[in-house]
Structure 1
Amino acid sequence: MDVQHLASRIRQERRRLGWNQTQLAHHLKTTKTTISKWETGQLLPDITQLPILARLFNTSVDEMLNVTSKHSREETKAIISDLIDKLSHSKEDFVSTIEAYFQQSSNDYEFLVALLGVMSTNIQRLKQDALRDKAIALAFEIVHIIETNCTSTSLLRKTYGYKVTFWYVNGEFDQIIEHLSDYEVNLGENLLLGSAYLAQDDREKATSIIQSDMYQNLNLMVQEFVLLVAHELPHLSVEELAPKYEYLNLAFNIDQLFPFLAMQIYYYFAEYYVEIDDTKAQHFLEHYTTCYERLVIDFSFQTDAFFDAVEPWFEHFPAGQSLSLDFDETVEQYMNIIIDSPKFQKLSNYEEIVSQLKQVYRKSM
């Protein structure tokens, strides 16, 4: 047993709760002198008092005693892979297994952040309200433990990002608005990190860091473009927006990298043009169908000749390279959104488009 760790932890947790030694002694039905001896390592708590202390401090006995083992990166990857597999078979097992891992490894903060990551990227797949509520409550418990005890700036930053995701899923938009700056300045940490690797002549690492940052930013930019178009936020017309996307796609191969996002853009463009220009509407639906086939054939984040060094980033991404979406539900939804739209039925090649979509869909079965 690490006596000094236990003594330090009791003192740290008491102060976090805002209590003096007398107040903690009152809660434990002991004396201030006993608490003082615990906190200096002169005396150990009775074994029956350790679970009470752990519950009071919202942690585990193992963590109090500093005996919880750390998961290696390979072990964590295997566990995350197993969790994603569980999710496809039983969403209840997915949540209960994460809860069990949390209880077993409450001071392995890097591992806990990985659990938050796989929960945040897959939370939308939990359709049942009660199960989703349970998962969100569990996520906030994990966040609390990390934010209370972890000292790693990197892990705390990731944890905060995941917490914002759970606020959003939970409909706590006021929390997001209160805690995030309206116009956050991007300080370019990854740009500086890549430059630091270059300064040490590690070109391979620098390339991977810079490409991964560009890849993530491009993904977010396209998602934001979808949001702007879907909600008709820009003052620009679709006639002005469509060329912007086409140039972006020409420069960065969006249709190949993120077909699931490109499809949404093509849908909105086709929906607009179907009222005024059949040829252009058909043009965008053809692109939609091409992206749909890419999605069905390879349901994952893609790379290309430019983004050829982002594979290490996928090793750190919670869901790996696979999309954090339900495959069967997604491919069926993206087919039906075209087939079920009465607007497209008047197009001269509507039956051909439907036939192509159904042929592609059959490849998913």
Structure 2
Amino acid sequence: MTLLPLLAAYFDISVDQLLTYNAQLTTAEIQRIYQQLKAEFGQRDGAILLKKIHDLVRQYYSCYPFVLQMGLLLVNHLDYLPGKDAAEKQRTYLTEARALFERVKNAAGDPELVVQARSYQAYCDLMLQQPEQVLAALGEFVPATIPPESLIAGAFQQLGRNDEALRTVQSALFQYLTELMSLLTNSLLLLSDQPAKFAETYQRTWQLATAFSFPEIHPVVVLNFLLGACLGFAHQRQIALLSQVLTRFETVLRQVVVPIKLQGDAYFDRIQPWLDQLEIGPQTPRNSNHLRRDLLRVLLGDPQIQALATEPTLAPQLQKLQTLLEVEQHDEPAE
């Protein structure tokens, strides 16, 4: 009992609040807090937001799904946080996020949370250029698994609940396609010195994306893929292919409505309940209000792209994108 005032002071609450304090948040509460914090990036001072995140993590340190999401929040918005340069920010906040993921990995009893935390921790290690730790944590080969969604869908079928079985299959398909798009984007980076294989990967991936209407229902993963294709073709000086990708990049970019929310369509017409039950719901992990600005800065700031700015075919396209960037920067709210 004598520790209660000290505990109340630590959490910055009254003793009465401490006695009725619930250290666990619901999924809806986690979604709300994440959305609120994400919306404040770019609007409020980064140091204030960082303190807010620290206070919330301290307050809900035993709510492991929340701690996991706060780690992801740091990873996805580290460029908005205090620091003298990009390298320092990455080092500081990836290290901090890694510690949160390690906390979840070591303390959470939920096997799914532990697996997620281990993967996110390995991502931080990779970005911190510590590949040995990544391989030590995850191994050198992709593990063989039995997809749980097949078992869940089969169980629903046996119960005669076919609509829920279809929802399960659609949700898994949507998630696997998203992951596949990301893997194919990564493969472009590994094929930059193999022009023929690079071009084939680009064409096949674009066909896959358009077949499932991903430019409309998941534009972020498509734009990241197109950005990687642009940079690769610029490096290879493939002018015709680069022009084609720039046209597609601009088209998808202009169609984006922010803030972006993941959604289904006429084909993926059963996935909304699955999206809604995710820890952060259908919102994107990173603040999407500045998506166009951030992507355009990366594209137009690339030295290989800049070296091709006077090419007759590319010059008008790049100028249109530069004008779009200026509009995006002009419309930014004052911080």
The two structures have a TM-score, normalised by structure 2, of 0.73
Q: 2:317 aligns with which of 335, 353, 361?
A: 353
User: C-alpha offsets along residues 31-59 of structure 1, whole Å, 9 cap, x if unaligned?
Assistant: xxxxxxxxxxxxxxx7359979xx9xxxx
Number of residue pairs aligned between Structure 1 and Structure 2:
310
Q: Which amino acid aligns with 2:171?
A: S
The verdict on how the C-alpha distance between 1:136 and 1:339 changes in structure 2, with shifts beyond 3 A counting, is closer
CA shift, 1:124, in A, is: 5.8
In the alignment, structure 1 residue 252 sits paired with structure 2 residue 212 = yes
Larger radius of gyration: 1
The verdict on how the C-alpha distance between 1:317 and 1:363 changes in structure 2, with shifts beyond 3 A counting, is farther
**2:200 aligned residue:** 240
The verdict on how the C-alpha distance between 1:224 and 1:126 changes in structure 2, with shifts beyond 3 A counting, is farther
Q: 3-state SS of the aligned residue for 1:293?
A: helix
Q: 3-state SS of the aligned residue for 2:309?
A: helix
In the alignment, structure 1 residue 177 sits paired with structure 2 residue 135 = yes
Work out the CA distance in 1 between the residues paired with 2:189 and 2:237. 16
Aligned-pair RMSD on alpha carbons?
Answer: 3.9
Q: Superposed, which structure 2 residues align to 1:112-261 within 5 Å?
A: 112-123=67-78, 126=81, 128=83, 132-181=90-139, 182-232=141-191, 237-256=197-216, 257=218, 258-261=221-224
Q: 1:85 aligns with which of 11, 16, 39?
A: 39
More moved, 294-303 vs 192-201: 294-303
CA shift, 1:243, in A, is: 3.4
Q: 3-state SS of the aligned residue for 2:68?
A: helix
CA shift, 1:209, in A, is: 3.0
CA shift, 1:126, in A, is: 4.4
CA shift, 1:166, in A, is: 2.5
The verdict on how the C-alpha distance between 1:81 and 1:91 changes in structure 2, with shifts beyond 3 A counting, is same
Work out the CA distance in 1 between the residues paired with 2:203 and 2:256. 23
> Structure 2 stretches of 5 or more lacking a match?
none
User: C-alpha offsets along residues 236-256 of structure 1, whole Å, 9 cap, x if unaligned?
Assistant: 534533432343234223433
The verdict on how the C-alpha distance between 1:150 and 1:272 changes in structure 2, with shifts beyond 3 A counting, is closer
Work out the CA distance in 2 between the residues paired with 1:346 and 1:149. 56
Work out the CA distance in 2 between the residues paired with 1:127 and 1:221. 34
**1:104 aligned residue:** 59
Work out the CA distance in 2 between the residues paired with 1:294 and 1:322. 17
Q: Relative CO higher for 1 or 2, CA cutoff 8 Å, sep ≥ 6?
A: 2
> Structure 1 stretches of 5 or more lacking a match?
1-45, 56-60
Q: Which amino acid aligns with 1:105?
A: Y
Work out the CA distance in 1 between the residues paired with 2:257 and 2:319. 15
Identity of aligned residues (%): 12
The verdict on how the C-alpha distance between 1:114 and 1:339 changes in structure 2, with shifts beyond 3 A counting, is closer
User: C-alpha offsets along residues 47-77 of structure 1, whole Å, 9 cap, x if unaligned?
Assistant: 359979xx9xxxxx9xxx9964422232222
User: C-alpha offsets along residues 4-25 of structure 1, whole Å, 9 cap, x if unaligned?
Assistant: xxxxxxxxxxxxxxxxxxxxxx
Work out the CA distance in 1 between the residues paired with 2:232 and 2:165. 38
Q: Superposed, which structure 2 residues align to 1:214-363 within 5 Å?
A: 214-232=173-191, 237-256=197-216, 257=218, 258-268=221-231, 270-271=233-234, 274-275=237-238, 278-295=239-256, 299=260, 301=262, 303-315=264-276, 316-318=278-280, 320-322=282-284, 324=286, 326-327=290-291, 329-334=293-298, 336-337=300-301, 341-358=305-322, 360-361=324-325
Q: 3-state SS of the aligned residue for 1:146?
A: helix
CA shift, 1:187, in A, is: 2.3
Q: Which amino acid aligns with 1:74?
A: A
User: C-alpha offsets along residues 112-155 of structure 1, whole Å, 9 cap, x if unaligned?
Assistant: 33333433444465473555555445434434543444322232
The verdict on how the C-alpha distance between 1:70 and 1:300 changes in structure 2, with shifts beyond 3 A counting, is closer
